[in-house]
Chain A
Amino acid sequence: MASLTVTDAHVRVTKAKVIQPAWVRIMHWVNALAMILMILSGWQIYNASPLFGFSFPREYTLGGWLGGGLLWHFAAMWLLMINGLAYLVTGFVTGRFRRKLLPITPSGVLHDVRAVLTFKLGHDDLTVYNYVQRLLYAGIIVVGVLIVLSGLGMWKPVQLYYLVMLFGDYPTARYVHFFCMAAICAFLVIHVLLALLVPKSLRAMIIGR
């Protein structure tokens, strides 16, 4: 009997300690898959008509040729958009964005950047994001919205003309799309590196605790 009571208490304690709720974890990994598919197929499409004086190595592209890359890109976009939209709606409705990402103050960011560079930034409480995390996570959401809007504009420059106009014109939307991809790749490198440096954060994104 006594042991049962303890178990109940444990369960309650465990529940209270959930760092990443199930919806965040599911959407995070769906997004990770969608992003990788979009980036690798996007590099294939880029290679058909490079904006700059370089191409992406063929081994890191998806689809085999332009037509295949386009098929992947316009299939994975549904996964990215539906999941992304569900994430935005849930993030706002549950108040998670406000709770976890705000406020972002310049002094807070400066303080935490300094702490990062001197290896003094603590990770004791993973339920609270530090200012660097807040800035990066909020920033990458904005970049995610921009890459989808510029992508939709390029896909439908006549039917969704107002989206193209938002960026100026079709060629500009292409550059915006590219630089958003570059920002996401840079984020990905830092994000994965930090997750590996603080393994309990990775564990929290998998099992929640």
Chain B
Amino acid sequence: MAKRSFLIPGVDKRLLIKDSLKTMPDVTRRRFIAGGASLGALTLLTGCDVVDSSSAETMLAKVSKFNDAVQAWMFNPDALAPTFPESAITKPFPFNAYYDLDDAPDIDGADWKLEVRGLVDNKKSWTLDELYKLPQVTQITRHICVEGWSAIGSWTGTPLRDFLRLIGADTRAKYVWFQCADKDGYNSPLDMRSALHPQTQMTFKYASEILPRAYGFPMKIRVPTKLGFKNPKYVVSMEVTNDYKGGYWEDQGYNSFSGS
């Protein structure tokens, strides 16, 4: 019998891979957005050329931008995501990515440095040891995936707003843009108000243990007021910027704000 390797204790990685495959990016997908538009119901829309792929995509992209604005308007910086007792934690907490668990970044914590760029006073890079010395808090919150499933986990780390203050970030800037070590280069923009939310965290631990590779070692950004894909793992740099730089999933069509 083949030896099973466990990246997350107790979790068969083949099952996890099966789960993660569902989010595999597929270059042909975008074409289907418009392809699906020709489905029965839409033929009712006479005079409106929705079956034309580019106009359907343009219309949907416009509504998605409008939805970004609506969500920003709805966002209450003081509204906290519900927290849970330890007994509510989902075990095992699922691994989820667009790649196989074996392809997850394998980062050497001793070599890793967090790069800080953009509209900040102090652009020095941070080693893991330096970051570990910052005050940390623990939060047990619900992670909600864009796919619909959710799981409750325990994350420990430094509130991002404290770190932004520490490095003298211009908090009037529009975004904090994260770049990650995931294969094909994961990145994601976070609007400044969500970045300054009291529960938004630079996460170094899961369930009181150093963040395992499966969950984003050495650092993840945990944003309980955003869908899971806006919680980048394996972060290597953050940039404070006024420019919208796009994101791995955002560029493929997921709503950019995706707040909860």
Contacts and interface: CB of A to CB of B under 8 A. Distances in A.
A189 to B, nearest CB: 15
Nearest to B148: A49
A63 B36 contact: yes
B78 to A, nearest CB: 11
A46 B147 CA distance: 8
A45 interface: yes
Contact of A70 (B71, B75, B146, B260): B146
A123 to B, nearest CB: 27
B224 A158 contact: yes
A161 B82 contact: yes
Interface in A149-181: 154-159, 161, 170-171, 174
B68 to A, nearest CB: 11
Contacts of B149: 49
B148 A45 contact: yes
B36 to A, nearest CB: 5
- Among B31, B35, B45, B60, residue most surrounded by chain A Cβ atoms (within 10 Å): B60
B230 interface: no
A26 to B, nearest CB: 14
Contacts of B146: 48, 66, 70
In this complex, which of B35, B76, B142, B260 has the most chain A Cβ atoms within 10 angstroms of its Cβ? B260
Given A40-B41, A159-B75, A63 B33 contact: yes
B32 A171 contact: no
Nearest to A68: B33
B227 to A, nearest CB: 10
A36 interface: yes
Given A158-B260, A159-B79, A49 B36 contact: no
Contacts of A157: 81, 142, 144, 260
B144 A33 contact: no
Contact of B37 (A62, A70, A155, A170): A62
Nearest to B33: A68
A141 interface: no
A176 B198 CA distance: 31
Interface string B5-41: 0000000000000000011001001111111110111
Nearest to A45: B148
Contacts of A159: 74-76, 79, 259-260
A36 B254 CA distance: 22
B142 A70 contact: no
Interface in B149-197: 149-150
A190 interface: no
A67 B253 contact: yes
Interface string A43-74: 01110110100000000111111111011101
B150 A170 contact: yes
A6 B31 CA distance: 59
Interface of B: 22-23, 26, 29-37, 39-42, 44-45, 59-61, 63-64, 67, 71, 74-76, 79-82, 142, 144-150, 224-225, 249, 252-255, 259-260
The 3 closest A-B pairs by CB, nearest first: A64-B32, A68-B33, A67-B253
10 contacts: A36-B40, A49-B22, A64-B29, A65-B32, A66-B23, A67-B253, A74-B255, A155-B260, A156-B71, A171-B150
Interface of A: 33, 36-37, 40, 44-46, 48-49, 51, 60-68, 70-72, 74-75, 78, 154-159, 161, 170-171, 174
Given A36-B41, A45-B147, A161-B82, 16 more contacts: A49-B147, A49-B149, A61-B36, A63-B32, A63-B36, A64-B32, A66-B23, A68-B36, A72-B60, A74-B63, A74-B67, A158-B81, A158-B82, A158-B260, A170-B142, A170-B144
